[in-house]
Amino acid sequence: MNSRKYMFLILIIFIFNIHMTDTGYCWSLSKASKPYKGQTITISLMIGYEVNKILLDKVIPEFKKKTGINVEVQFVPYQEVIPQHTRILKSKDSKYDLINVDNIWFPFYKPYLENIDQFIKDSKLSMPKFNISDFIPELLQGYQWEENTYCFPSTFEFPLLMVRKDLFKKADFIDKNGKIIPPKNLDEYYEYAKKLTQDIDNDGKIDVYGTTLHGYKTGIFDEAISWYWGSGGELLDKSLNPIFGNALLIKTMKIYSNIYHHGYASPESTAWELGEAATAFRTGKAAMSWNWTMVAPWVLDPKLSYVADKVEFIKLFKEDTKRVHYLREASNALCIPKNSNNKKAAFLFMQFYTSPVIQETYVSDQYRIHPSRKSIIFSGKYASQVPYATIQRDVIKNHEIRLCPKIPEYTDIDQIVAMRFQQIMTGDLSAQIGIEQAVVDVQKLLSQGNYYEGNKSYTPIFSGIYK
């Protein structure tokens, strides 16, 4: 090869390498993070989330090692998240570079968050194989606003039904092949709870209740409304008027109250949310339990659960068989506040944290977290480790995940309706009167938000209406 041809070849290789770098084929986290080496990003994390163990034990040390970017963590109790974050965000304090956001609160946070589309489009920052379309669509939509993206979902949760196989067999709730016959509707759920409630040692005291109830605060709202959505009900109309004062919800709350009053759930249920209900089920004190997928690893852990080898997971029934979206998603994410001083370094961490490689860690025996990426949930490895993977896949494929109405007041709706639901549960109000009062409460709340001025019609993303 003569010198001219050799130099031409070198030039072609040089141009090719530049092209490869510019288009992202030579992208690496260590290269992308060089301009930000030595920066410190501060994360506000909620106490109690299992997924945060991965952050502390694996993700942060690995990220520091690869990037030279320091990461500090400050914890905040779940019940104090909104007050603390409100104070900081409204004061335009740059204290945090990433904040832990529960999807149900996203509409409140949105005005204070950085739109990350600019970073996604930056080839120097964006991972070539990050694959945003791999996220479960409804989860990603939960952190988008007017087609702009603000966060990447890190986890995936929804409610399901946990049942005791041995007690179902004893009660003859099995078919000729020995498979469990789950309740198909609320009336059957009540009858199952009745038959499964037992005084095993005949001492006059109930040893196993038919089911659990989440009778405290917002727990009762999530549980009862999931049944109501499955019956085809809606909370708001297109103008955001409350429309849940109907026969469907009245029936739902009558059955809820009857389960409690007839002794088929623990009398302590009025003080229970997901943790207490999960504890009752895993310690053998209930035959059924409506609960979130996030508690399933506790129930399956023989170190924590008396029923680890006796549990079966069932997709929550729906009375309206044509209903599609009826299971509220629960997810969380790390989001960048507008006032962060280290936005690009924070984006690199957010991206690394929700990347396919890191999310594969979720299914390890140590963490057992539910990933937000379809490719992982539909993988053979995941199916071999997660007994309810079939339910998760079915829910994803059939688009049964439901987003809440995207209005900041939704959590207030949750709380004020929950108060009326608890009064119905305890018998202080009839189902009809309690629901009528809840409708008035919600109408008043949303009127204060000026939603009804000018007879506006809102898109499904705001109203939460699904067909």
Q: What is the pTM of this model?
A: 0.90
The per-residue pLDDT for 9 is: 46
First CA to last CA distance, the chain: 69
Give whole-number Cα distances, 98 to 65, 167, 329, 398, 424, in Å. Answer: 19, 46, 22, 33, 40
Residue 217 has a pLDDT of: 84
Domain 25-157+330-386 adopts which CATH fold?
A: D-Maltodextrin-Binding Protein; domain 2 (3.40.190)
Contact 154, 372 (CB under 8 A): yes
Q: Specify the CATH number of the domain 159-328.
A: 3.40.190.10
Domain 25-157+330-386 shares a fold with domain 159-328: yes
Could you say which residues of the chain have pLDDT below 70?
A: 1-25, 467
pLDDT of residue 462: 87
Q: What is the pLDDT of residue 34?
A: 96
Q: What's the pLDDT score for residue 264?
A: 98
Residue 159, strand partner residues:
292
Per-residue b/e over 372-388, b at no fewer than 16 CB within 10 Å? bbbebbebeebeeebeb
| Domain segments of the chain as ranges | 25-157+330-386, 159-328
Q: Supply the pLDDT for residue 274.
A: 93
Give me the count of residues in the chain.
467
Q: Where are the beta strands (DSSP E) in 212-260?
A: none
Residue 4, pLDDT score:
57
Q: CA 467, CA 458: separation in Å to the nearest integer?
A: 15
